[in-house]
Structures are given as structure tokens and as C-alpha cells.
Structure 1
Amino acid sequence: MKSIVIGTLLVSLFILFTPVRAGHELPIYPSFYPQEIRIVTVDAREAAAQLPKAAIHAYIGPEPAFDSSPPDNVRFVESLGSYLVLSLAPDAAKDRDSRCTLARTLASTLVTKALPGFRFHPYPITPFHEDYLYHFDLIEAAKAEYQALAADSIDRSLSVHPQGKLATRLVQAVAWPVEEKGKVALEEVDVRALLTTQTLSLNGWINPPWIKQGWFHAYLLLADAISEPARRRAVDALYQRLIRGQAEGKEEQVNIERKLVSQLVEGCERTVVGYTVRREYYNADFSAGVENIAFDSHTGLHAPIFLRTVKLKDFPWNGWLRLGVPTPPSAAWNPVGGFTDPTGRLIWSALGDAALFPAPYNGGWLVNRVVDYLFIHR
């Protein structure tokens, strides 16, 4: 009996003086700062009027139609908007060398053309791509080559078919003759439209994982225009090695990517001559605006990370967030075959509340919720 009492006393003393760790968790882990997100359809003119007074906190769409410069309390984020691509018909030149000379001469006239949002960049990989630095030397060499060309030697009798608003403005600025079925086409290719058919979101996973890689964009833009069968086979072989992960190490992978892009551009059937920057605006007023803005390098504010980071300045937590979009939902409202239109995808990126969502600057994923455990020592 005495030993039982002593044993009980020792156990009690051990429990009393031993540090205790207790985990305290919230029953619900919030995924958003606002308690309500309201999405309304407004055009660019209405957005310009509503943004300064915080009737909408952000406009996820084209640039609002401000009468002059935006007010001081309205700011913007920048993302990759579109590519400007020069295409030559098969009969525009007699061989590859003459075709490349023609393409470079035509493109060199755009070096000094300053239009809002347009940046001359004669390479398919831009600063908005994850692999930009892997191609930096090739990019600088291409820029130097185009800038050294004599733009005044262009044959302005050659007709050009512009496709897109930016292409039309540039053709007018250069004073090229316009012909719908000309041998030369200058086309604006929207990045979101280029990638929409290549993406599939399922519980936050975005397919393919190389969606933000410049070499992948280059393949989508240029591969189908290759006129030489042998070069097309070589390009496809390199592409397959990349998407199948057959490179042995990072060094070989980068070398394959560089070789792929070099073979894509060397025929000059299609030439990327620049890109545009998309600006999307939000209200940053001291009290009525929003802060903590995160955005995607290719889709801007039209991204799950924006909805999960944006915070109203009036509230330390919760509040009513109002977003403007240019078009109403048009696709079916179901998670299997619906939400395929831009507004629908934005809505589903909130309603789906996936465990993972796309990272803003690369092809990886981010955790939707991060749980912190609090340990209490006694």
C-alpha cells in the first residue's frame, strides 16, 4: 500500500513539473480577407468613373477610359498582355535567307515606334517569363541585330495585313499599305487566349506545369508556321523531351530549351517583334481603398492569388470587396464543364476554394491555407 502511495505521488509530481504543449486551432481557416466579394459588370467608361470613388475597388479587364491621367488614388499592376507577331506568306521570299532578311527589315521599323503599352522585343521570351534569364544573352543579341538594321531601306510598296488594334495602329504609324490578303501579316496574339486551351484547373492544379515558361509560349506561337519538315521534326523532338522530363539535370534542360527556341525562330516564317503590357487598376485610397495586392505575371488580377490576398484598408479583417469586370458570365455554372468564360473562371477561382492554386510567377502551386500551431509551455 505504501509503495502505491509513493508511486502515485511521484507520477503527480512528474505531471505537475513537466512542460505541457497544447495545440490551439481555429475551427475554420479563412481563405479571404473580405467577408463578401461582389462582382459587377461595368464597361471601361463606367470603371473610370467608379474606381476613384471606390464604388468598385478594382477593375479586372481592359484599361478604364479615363479622360486624362488616372487620379492619385488609383494605381495599377502590370502583366503580360499580348505578343506582336510578324508572319510571311510562303511566296513572300524565295528562300530562308531572303525571308529572314525581309522579316528583320520589316520588324526593324518598329524599334522606335512608341505606342502606349507596346515594347519592341524581337524574341519570344519576355521579362514576364520564368525562364527569361536563361535566354538573356540571346535576347540582347537579337535586339542589337535589329537596332543595327537600316529601317529606311524598307520597301513600302509591300502590303501588310494588320490583325488587332495594336497591329493596326503600328501599320498606320509606319505607313505600310494595307491589304487583307497581303504577303505580310502583323498580328496581335492575346496571351490569355493563347493559353486558355492549354490549361485545365483541377483542385488548384494547372496543366501543363510549364504554362509560364517562355519556350512553351514560343512553341505555341511559332511551331505551326515552320515550313521545313526536317526542322519541324527536330523542334517536336526537343519539345517532347522537355514535356516528358527527359533532360538529365538542370543544365541539360536549359540547353534544350535554348536550342528549341533557336530552332523555332531561325526560319523566320513567324517572328515575334514585341509584346504589350496589360495594366489593371485598383483604388488605393488611404481609407476606402484596398492594399496587399498580389497578381499573376500573365493574368494580372484575374488570378486566385489576388482574391486571397487583397484586403480592404477600412477593415483589419473582413469587409465588402467590390470588383468590376467587362463582361457578364456566359458559360454554364457547374464545376465540370462550366465556368469556362473569363468572368466564370474568376468566380470559380473563389467558389472552388481549392487546396492549392497557381503560383503567380512560375508553374508551381501555392497552399491555399497555412495553419500555424501555437505551443504553450508551462
Structure 2
Amino acid sequence: MAIIGIVFLNDAHPTVSYQKELTASTALTLQVFKSATLKQAALSDKEHRFVPFFGSSEWNRMDEMHPSVLAEGYQRSYRPFLLGQKGATSLTQFFGMQQMTKQMQGKQAVFVISPQWFTLQGANPDAFTYYFGTAQGLKFLQNQTGSQADKVAARRFLQVMPKSNVKTMMKRVAKGQDLTQFDQQKIQLQLNMLEHEDAFFSTWLTNDNFTKRVKPKADALPQPYNREALTQRATKLARQETNTNPFSIQNSFFIKRIKGHERKLANSQVHFSYLQSPEYTDFQLVLNQFAKTNTNVLFIIPPVNQKWAAYTGLNEDMYAQTVAKIRYQLEQQGFNHIADLSKDGGHPYFMQDTIHMGWNGWLAVDDYVDPFLTKPQPKPHYRINNDFLSRQWANYLPKK
């Protein structure tokens, strides 16, 4: 009971120090991923510029050329606030964004959109449920206006998480019905409680990647910034860490995840296809949200490890068509900042493992990210087309 009393008495909008924001920005924990307090504090900081970097598990590949390491090592005018978890896809990110709509208004963001998200099933219900916080759903319900996108978002939510404690209100939104006054009062009451709880527990950060993984690597970077020197260092480091397998995969990953299973994995991806998926609908919800907050976004489309793709039989034409479909959805609506690295998976030491970038791949990302965030950019002019929310688009097969 004493703990409950402390939670309710605690300030729902506490002062968060810069050091705490810095620690949270690279923590990559479930706590930070779901915390409104920490994200809002960092993205509202007027003295230090934190930029949300959305994605999934790639942000945890923290070698010396990682965006957070480069930003710290060269004292960039921005710091990435990493918002990614293994298995997190567009729907998870969409609901997470509901907690920081004010903080993203007119700002910039970076978003990694991986073709591997676009499976026939789409968002994994178990992963979505694990990363979802009730406060995110309540903020969505509070933010929604009965638009087509809101109805689709509510329907998608109910498909992947049918037993949520906000399901009744989600059903109303999905049907285009107004929330009752009682619903609105209930939402606010629950949000007040959850925000106080979040503010209290957000002070207990336990994972300090910044001190352990970012700062030491940043201190080892060649000074001043020199792209050629960084390429040489990245190549040297990568060569040392990928010398025990024929796929140029980081040794530790190969030993832990692949060694001893090579025969089973040969030609295991021959029938993979990312061309038809509910993920196209979920991705459109993200685009609608960015347009709603007028956020200027750089989208990064990563490649796959070319050697691994050849071994597992992943269809290169299918991958290229998937990328083309994603790009079409972006470009037709005015999302024109795209770092398309999808054809670079065969470049030396571009990939850290089978699907995640590292070393020279991160440097290629930085070639896009740093100028996007440090040089003046024209204001975006988005042309949202709700046809991209349709099943017809999700199931559309591009012509070869």
C-alpha cells in the first residue's frame, strides 16, 4: 500500500536529467521502449537534441560505427534515441508513437523499414502483446478522431490482441462509433494512474549501454572525422570478427546461431515472399501518423547478407520487388527521404550477421543520416492516400 501511495503522489512530469536521457537513449530495454516519461523528456529537451530512431533489433548491433557511437564520438548536434526491439514491427511502433505526438510535431525521425517484416502473417501477436503498454492504447483512443486510419488501426489491434482490457473501446472505434463520455472519463482516469506509475519507475534505469558499449567505442574513433580512415578501421575490425565462417558473419553470431545447423538452413528460404502482407497496412498507419505530426522522416531500407541469401535460396527478384513496393508506397505520398541500401548486402563487411548491418553498413547509413539531421531540409508535403490501407494494396503483387 505504501508503494501505491508513493506512486500516486509522485509527479507525473518529473525532471529528467540529461545523463538519464542519454542513458535511456541507448538502453534498448522494454522499460524505456514502453515509457512515455523518458521519451517525452528526451524529445522535449531544448538544450540537447534527441532524435527518435525507430526500428527493431538492428539498433542493438553496437559496433564502433553504430549511429549512437558516431554521434557521441564526433559530438554531433543530435543524439539518436533508439526505439527498437527484436520482433517489433510497424504496428508496435505506431502505438508507441501515440505517447509522443506532441514531441514529434514538426521534428525529424529516422525509421528502418525491413522487408523481413512483410511476412504473410504480418505482426507477430506474441511480440506485439509483449511490447504493448496499456497507456499506448489509451493514448490512441484519446487521440483518435474517427478517421479511416483510426478504424483500421483499431481493427488491426483487435486482430493481434483480441483480449486486451481496452478491447471494448477499440471495437467502438473499429466500427466508427463515438466513445461515450464514460469511456473518455475512464481513459483519463487510467492514464493519470499509469502516467504517475511510469514517472515513478522510470527513475530506475538498469541498463547502461551508453557507459558500457557506446562511450568506450566512441573514445576509440579516429579524430577528427575522416570517412576514409573510418572505412579502414571498420574493415579491419570486421575482418577480425568474421574470420571463422564463409558468410562474413560475426563469429559469435555464427557460432551461437548457425554452426552445426548449416545443412538444415541450406535453401531454407527458397519459398519466402514479402510481397503480400498485413504489414503494408500497418506501415501505412505509421506513415499516416508521421503526416499527422508533420514529422520529416528518413527511411532506411536495409539489405540482407548476399552470401547468406545465396546459401538459403532467398529470391533476389522477390526482395527487389518488395523494396520497389515499399518505395512506391513512400514516394507516392511525399516521403522522399529514402536510404535504399537493399542492393548493398554483397559489399565487404557491410553486414554484421544474416540480416543486420554493421561496420561498413553503418558508415553507409551515416552518409545519409548525418546530412539529413544536420543540414537544412525542406518542410515535407505529404499526400496521404488511404488506398494504401486497403487489403487490395496489402495483397497486390507487383508485375515483374
The TM-score normalised by the length of structure 2 is 0.23
Structure with the larger strand share: 1
- Normalised to the residue count of structure 1, the TM-score between the two structures is 0.24
Higher percent of residues as helix: 2
Greater relative contact order (Cα 8 A, min sep 6): structure 1 or 2?
A: 1
